[in-house]
A and B are shown apart, each in its own frame.
Chain A
């Protein structure tokens, strides 16, 4: 099937404004008759629930954490982009649009990206109005910093915790609506099924994580704002609870999964210290404003204390390879360059899996106090984890899985191929193409939540009759029965291996064979090994306790079971895409170490349809057209 993204046509500058006018409206008095479910309360979900509640819809919002304020958007450190051009350095909506299309290696939809760039400015205004304490200069104006993949300073920030401050802004707006009664909040709930009635999304089935009870919720539309899936690698920068579960359940109910092989490996994370490790910690890309990446030129120097390696024996490999962007090369490129140096035997630290991020030049230039003011909390975090002082010796960094550009397929209205199912933020596939630029995830989450869904969902609801919150329909009962049976199946395997052991094994396979570099052979290995591991899981996993109580082992087991299915799709997608683009690097397709796209054959969105357990999924394509930014080899040299 050829998919239609339903993008508006005409001059790109007018697409969103024209589309907003063309969308049908729901009369203010009728809004309260409609019910909307929002799953996930990060930037996308929190902003959507708050904005939809404020418009007058009845919103039910869900999160697995104990409070909507804890979603993993909170961990974003560096900043949020907007095309304000406050620094007068040549920025514009068009440039942000252009940088994002190019940064995504020409694998995103132009119209969606244009809209993102256009509303980016509204986001900053909105957050300031909410009282988000962005960094300011002494005259009281908003301050900016630079991020990778751009030659302008367009990133707004709040110390090293921009994500937390933006999330608290959305959470405060959400809290206001909860108080007003327009949003009903359900904490500690995990969505375990999408309820589809006559082909239309009508509700969800959740597990109450405190009591274990399964609960049904019905609505006229369901918004999934459930984040990304890079915990499929086991070790990633995601929170422990981040999973593919909600998206995967929706996929199994018919929603297409687009470009699952596009995953982002972030270049600057604290290297793994041991096998026991449960997660990796990212160090903001903003550090590359003032930090210089290097490894020793000679292998013999790798064991030396970094301060004993003289300047002339250091290879500042990003500055060498990409002189015009230098240390601010985009993430996919910086990650691959780091891996390249380590594969060449010039990595540092345990196992030679590390590169230096060195602040000494900047400390000499602006002083340690300024560096401390810019990144103090990051240096502190680094010291807590590694016991090393980043001011005195260069930090050690290694790439780690961080973000998923792929996600559920949506059209321009953020609606999936299932009517009534909308997907926002990282959970959808829409704007980042094959690689996301830094400080763009926060921008997308809030754009979707504050400024896109409030318009587009109205266009859908205006065409359907309100159906209330009654969950008596047979599909709700069936869903509860299915989830219950699945839970019991997990609990009754009663094998010998723990859930974590399976997840570690799966993560290892994915990192090794579907990580920063992929080959036809490595992917074929995984396409054999993953089904075998899944089979073993269902024969030999050990899950303690019961389904009728607070049971974290059971939660993890369910998430792992879904990753074991999803991982295969991810490898299948990577295997079918015989090109390299952005974060998807197929070793066979490169030109002097740079990703080599095949626009003649792969300039499309690959969206997979679930065809049943252990059946081959079907690929649908949405061709990508580039009318404004011409397809070109992406160069940062």
Chain B
């Protein structure tokens, strides 16, 4: 661990936008007294405290758990969703990744399906709409068999879990030049497709999810794989391939 007392001064160029119909623009701020142990959001807290004290409106940004699991935080930092550190959400990005004097650009997720609410806050309800279209097993509460009555080979359980790690932050959409939600949707399709519980509805599920994706205004995949790079949970693009395979299979059911 390096010196605790050294602090950094940074120049922030932040997207400010009053509402969905406001044109929005970049504003410049200075962040002072930042240590390497500050998280990126704690650095913004410091800036916001200064803004409030000087009677200015603080920068709005979504955040909640601040431990990398709720998927609420969503900022494009220097052009990269979540700041570009491997498998890291903004809230887990620490200032030790920056150095004194750096200039940092901060923008919201930008995608047609994610209208801006204010500043860095966007509306991601389109992701909920995709899930509502069928990313579930239609079981009832109660009346289900014993947990061990359905044996699931470990590799299948592990693969399902790999897909289920998605936190629904939308970085894959923000990172995609087409604003596609294929990684998100592919992960949902795959989580259930590999499990016996998911098989009965597999064909209808993939069709409904793909339809919902299109009607929400998401683009299509042209194999840039930027989504996988942006994903803070390391969701693999192989799940997009699986979705395509499931989709094709579904045409013959």
Binding site for B on A (CB under 8 A): 47, 50-51, 54, 65-70, 72, 74-75, 84, 86, 122, 124-131, 133-142, 156, 158-159, 161, 163-165, 168, 171-173, 175-176, 178-179, 185, 187, 210, 237, 239-241, 273-274, 276-279, 281-282, 350, 380-381, 384-385, 387-388, 450-451, 454, 496, 498-500, 542, 544-545, 549-550, 552-553
Complex Cα–Cα for A495 and B224 (A):
52
Complex Cα–Cα for A454 and B164 (A):
28
| Interchain CB contact under 8 A, A179 and B142 | no
The 10 closest A-B pairs by CB, nearest first: A140-B151, A172-B136, A129-B144, A133-B161, A133-B160, A128-B147, A51-B141, A273-B37, A239-B64, A136-B157
| Interchain CB contact under 8 A, B136 and A134 | no
Complex Cα–Cα for A496 and B54 (A):
9
| Interchain CB contact under 8 A, A129 and B137 | yes
| Interchain CB contact under 8 A, A385 and B53 | no
- Stretch of B67-75, B100-108, B174-182, B245-253 at the chain-chain interface: B67-75
When distances are taken between beta carbons in the complex, the residues of chain B under 8 Å from A165 are 161, 164
Q: Which of A47, A131, A136, A350 has the most CB of B within 10 A?
A: A131
Partner of A84, one of B123, B147, B152, B153: B147
Q: Does B6 contact A (CB under 8 A)?
A: no
Contacts A69-B71, A273-B37, A454-B141 given; does A500 touch B49 at CB 8 Å:
yes
Contact digits for B55-99, partner A, Cβ 8 Å, 1 yes 0 no: 111101011111111111000000000000001100010101000
| Interchain CB contact under 8 A, B157 and A278 | no
Complex Cα–Cα for A84 and B62 (A):
40
Contacts A54-B140, A69-B168 given; does A384 touch B88 at CB 8 Å:
yes
Complex Cα–Cα for A401 and B36 (A):
25
| Interchain CB contact under 8 A, A66 and B1 | no
Complex Cα–Cα for A158 and B138 (A):
21
Partner of B69, one of A135, A161, A454, A550: A161
| Interchain CB contact under 8 A, A278 and B45 | yes
| Interchain CB contact under 8 A, A140 and B197 | no
Interface size class of B (residues with CB under 8 A): 35 or more
- Give the total number of A-B pairs whose CB atoms are below 8 A apart: 223
Question: Which residues of B, 5-54, contact A by the 8 Å Cβ criterion?
Answer: 19, 35-39, 41-42, 45-46, 49, 51-53
Q: Does B167 contact A (CB under 8 A)?
A: yes
When distances are taken between beta carbons in the complex, the residues of chain B under 8 Å from A350 are 4
Q: Closest CB-CB distance, B109 to chain A, in whole Å?
A: 12
Q: Closest CB-CB distance, A86 to chain B, in whole Å?
A: 7
| Interchain CB contact under 8 A, B60 and A552 | yes
Contacts A51-B141, A136-B154 given; does A388 touch B136 at CB 8 Å:
no
Complex Cα–Cα for A282 and B67 (A):
9
Q: Closest CB-CB distance, B90 to chain A, in whole Å?
A: 12
Partner of A550, one of B88, B94, B117, B151: B117
Given contacts A70-B72, A240-B65, 19 further A-B contacts (CB under 8 A): A125-B145, A128-B144, A130-B137, A131-B192, A131-B198, A141-B148, A141-B151, A163-B69, A172-B131, A210-B117, A239-B70, A276-B38, A276-B45, A278-B39, A281-B66, A387-B96, A542-B53, A550-B60, A552-B60
Q: Closest CB-CB distance, A448 to chain B, in whole Å?
A: 13
When distances are taken between beta carbons in the complex, the residues of chain B under 8 Å from A136 are 152-154, 157
Q: Closest CB-CB distance, A116 to chain B, in whole Å?
A: 16
Complex Cα–Cα for A35 and B165 (A):
34
Q: Does B191 contact A (CB under 8 A)?
A: yes
Partner of A142, one of B55, B133, B142, B148: B148
| Interchain CB contact under 8 A, A130 and B197 | yes
| Interchain CB contact under 8 A, B197 and A544 | no
Complex Cα–Cα for A499 and B51 (A):
13
Complex Cα–Cα for A165 and B192 (A):
13
Complex Cα–Cα for A572 and B97 (A):
45
Q: Does B146 contact A (CB under 8 A)?
A: yes
Complex Cα–Cα for A209 and B37 (A):
31
- Residue in B closest to A52 when the chains form the complex, CB atoms: B141
When distances are taken between beta carbons in the complex, the residues of chain B under 8 Å from A141 are 148, 151
Complex Cα–Cα for A124 and B166 (A):
22
| Interchain CB contact under 8 A, B57 and A545 | yes
When distances are taken between beta carbons in the complex, the residues of chain A under 8 Å from B53 are 496, 498, 542
- Residue in A closest to B164 when the chains form the complex, CB atoms: A133
Q: Pull 15 A–B residue pairs with CB atoms less than 8 Å apart, ordered by A.
A: A54-B140, A75-B65, A75-B67, A125-B146, A129-B145, A131-B195, A133-B157, A136-B152, A140-B153, A141-B151, A175-B128, A175-B131, A381-B92, A387-B36, A544-B55
When distances are taken between beta carbons in the complex, the residues of chain A under 8 Å from B144 are 125-126, 128-129
Complex Cα–Cα for A54 and B46 (A):
46
| Interchain CB contact under 8 A, B141 and A173 | yes
When distances are taken between beta carbons in the complex, the residues of chain B under 8 Å from A176 are 132, 136, 138
Q: Does B124 contact A (CB under 8 A)?
A: yes
Complex Cα–Cα for A74 and B169 (A):
13
When distances are taken between beta carbons in the complex, the residues of chain A under 8 Å from B215 are none
Q: Which of B38, B69, B141, B158 has the most CB of A within 10 A?
A: B141
Contacts A142-B147, A178-B132 given; does A66 touch B72 at CB 8 Å:
yes
Q: Closest CB-CB distance, A16 to chain B, in whole Å?
A: 14
When distances are taken between beta carbons in the complex, the residues of chain B under 8 Å from A553 are 52, 57-58
When distances are taken between beta carbons in the complex, the residues of chain B under 8 Å from A86 are 148
Partner of B141, one of A54, A273, A550: A54
| Interchain CB contact under 8 A, A278 and B70 | no
Contacts A172-B136, A276-B46, A542-B52 given; does A239 touch B66 at CB 8 Å:
yes
Q: Does B240 contact A (CB under 8 A)?
A: no
| Interchain CB contact under 8 A, B168 and A500 | no
Q: Closest CB-CB distance, B111 to chain A, in whole Å?
A: 15
When distances are taken between beta carbons in the complex, the residues of chain B under 8 Å from A274 are 4, 35, 37-38
| Interchain CB contact under 8 A, B64 and A65 | yes
Complex Cα–Cα for A47 and B141 (A):
9
Complex Cα–Cα for A160 and B124 (A):
26
Partner of B64, one of A54, A68, A240: A240
Complex Cα–Cα for A84 and B134 (A):
30
Complex Cα–Cα for A54 and B64 (A):
29
When distances are taken between beta carbons in the complex, the residues of chain B under 8 Å from A47 are 141
| Interchain CB contact under 8 A, A240 and B66 | yes
Q: Which of A124, A175, A380 has the most CB of B within 10 A?
A: A175
Complex Cα–Cα for A499 and B167 (A):
30
Complex Cα–Cα for A272 and B225 (A):
37
Contact digits for B111-123, partner A, Cβ 8 Å, 1 yes 0 no: 0000001100101
- Residue in A closest to B188 when the chains form the complex, CB atoms: A172
When distances are taken between beta carbons in the complex, the residues of chain A under 8 Å from B35 are 274, 276
Q: Does B172 contact A (CB under 8 A)?
A: no
- Residue in A closest to B155 when the chains form the complex, CB atoms: A138
When distances are taken between beta carbons in the complex, the residues of chain B under 8 Å from A380 are 87
Q: Does B125 contact A (CB under 8 A)?
A: yes
